[in-house]
Amino acid sequence: MKKSPVLAMRIWFAVLLPVTGFSILVSGCEVATEPDDELYETHQKTLSVLTWNIQALFDGEEAGNEYEEYLSSSGWVEEKYLGRINAIAQAFEKIETGLPDIIALEEVENAGILTDIAEGPLKDQDFKWSFFASIPDSSLGLGVLSRFEILKARSHAVYDSGEFTPRPVAEVEIAPEGKPLVLFICHWKSKLGGDDATESLRRSSARILLRRMREIWSVDPSMPVLIMGDLNENHDEFYRRYGEAISALLPDDPRAAYISGFEGFGDSENSDAVALPPEKIQADYLVLCKTKPPLPEYFPPEAICLYSPWGTELQNGSYYYKNNWETIDHFLLSAGFFDDSGWDFSSCRVLNIEPFANSRGYPNAYNPRNGAGLSDHLPLFLTLKFISEG
């Protein structure tokens, strides 16, 4: 397939904390210019978001970084690529509530694939804006398709102890109904090499998110922030590891608070902890809450707490590994989605339906040899509702 031209992007650097590397600030890759007013009216009262690890979505051209099974010598050809993006688009169209307004995809090779999807099988669905982020010389990156204008976009490289993670953290800002919100799309370091050996890189990704949220809220304390993607950690990772280690995702739990240095904080005041700067209270882990809005009970009030739908709206898992469900794909929502104003949380679900799942209810993994299946992960689907003021 002939690639559609990609908008030229201005790039400049902003230094982050030394252990987290740097960020690249870029404009969104614009697929078209003007929104469709009629379609916009259809979607103006709800906003739907999908996140999905698409499982190694390579195009039909060799660039030198492909996995072995996606080389022409292994039988990977343009026709298989076109068949795959068509199958992905057809799966989206089978979602009974309609296509999402924002599609975040992990494991995409390049920006051209987003253009091929938006201008190909989804050309009538008004995905006029897109953004792609990757680390130079990496095989795969992160992609976003949006029906709403991407006002700002950044790509944050994650660097720790002399090593870059394979994927950056992508950041985009949109403002449907004139109400802005910030989206972070992530694919954190996998556990290949061992849980403990790779944990520091996931915590470095969390550090970038914490820094950016603090920067955003220093300007607009009410800005809603949504973190999504494959974090390669379960929402209950702390318990799966017997409550003995600080992981990048921690529950608002007495034991987690204790090993983080806040023993008994939920029972009595801890002026010493409160006096610490935010980055000392919570340097490189995200605290997950079950309350709406998410407010810490066992951590200091300065701790950033995010709502995780796992265990409430979401059950079982989105990834099936070694005969067990895992909850490594996430939506994490800030308090700004629970204030009865602007964009508020409505619902969330795992798309455990065909063709995303097979007939047994497990992820319908893609097979590059015969072109069957979709991905070894199930998508998560989030709906936000618009609450007008007054």
Buried b (16+ CB within 10 A) or exposed e, 260-285: bbbbebbeeebeebeeeeeeebbbbb
The answer to which of 38-47, 97-106, 215-224 has the lowest mean pLDDT is: 38-47
Share of the chain above pLDDT 70, in %: 85
**243-256 burial by CB neighbour count: b if 16+ within 10 A, else e?**
eeebbbbbbbbbbb
> pLDDT tier at 175 (50, 70, 90 boundaries)?
very high
Residue 332 to residue 199: CA distance in whole angstroms = 19
pLDDT above 90: residue 27: no
Whether residue 35 has pLDDT greater than 70: no
**Predicted confidence band of residue 9 (pLDDT cuts 50, 70, 90):** very low
Q: How much of the chain exceeds pLDDT 90, in percent?
A: 77
Tell whether the model's pLDDT for residue 227 goes beyond 90: yes
Task: Compute the average pLDDT of residues 221-250.
Answer: 96
Listing from the earlier edge strand, what are the strands of the sheet with 329-333? 12-15, 22-26, 152-156, 169-174, 181-187, 225-230, 329-333, 305-307, 286-289, 249-251
- 381 — phi, psi (to 5°)? -125, 120
| pLDDT tier, 181 (very low <50, low <70, confident <90, very high otherwise) | very high
Distance, CA of 187 to CA of 169 (rounded, Å) = 7
Confidence (pLDDT) at 39: 46
Helices (H) and strands (E) in the chain, counts: 8, 21
Least-confidence region, from 26-35, 179-188, 318-327, 342-351: 26-35
Q: What pLDDT score does 294 carry?
A: 97
User: Tokens for 343?
Assistant: 């964009």
Confidence of residue 312 (pLDDT cuts 50, 70, 90): very high
Which pLDDT band, with edges at 50, 70 and 90, does 266 fall under? Answer: low
pLDDT over 70 at 125, yes or no: yes
DSSP H or E run through 12 = strand 12-15
Beta strands 141-146 and 102-108: pairing type?
Answer: antiparallel
pLDDT for 276: 65
Mean pLDDT value across residues 176-199: 94
Q: Contact, 299 vs 265, CB < 8 A?
A: yes
Question: Residue 19's pLDDT is what?
Answer: 33
Interval 189-206 mean pLDDT: 92
Q: Taking a C-beta distance cutoff of 8 angstroms, is the pair 146, 133 a contact? A: no
pLDDT the model gives residue 390:
58
The mean pLDDT value for 295-302 works out to: 92
- Confidence at 164, pLDDT banded by 50, 70, 90: confident
Q: What integer is the mean pLDDT of 124-146? A: 96
Task: Say whether pLDDT at 205 is over 90.
Answer: yes
Helix (H, G, I), strand (E, B) or coil at 311: coil
Contacts from 372-376 at CB under 8 Å and sequence distance 24+?
Answer: 374/54, 374/55, 374/87, 374/88, 374/91, 375/52, 375/53, 375/54, 375/55, 376/53, 376/55, 376/319, 376/320
CA dihedral 371, 170, 234, 292 (to 10 degrees): -120
Determine the average pLDDT of the residues in 111-119: 97
Mean pLDDT, all residues of the chain: 87
* Cα–Cα distance for residue pair 270/145, rounded to 1 Å: 45
Domain ranges of the chain: 12-234+308-387, 236-304
Decide which of 3.30.565.10, 3.40.1280.10, 3.60.10.10, 3.40.50.2300 is the CATH code for 12-234+308-387: 3.60.10.10
pTM: 0.88
User: Residue 275: its pLDDT value, please?
Assistant: 56
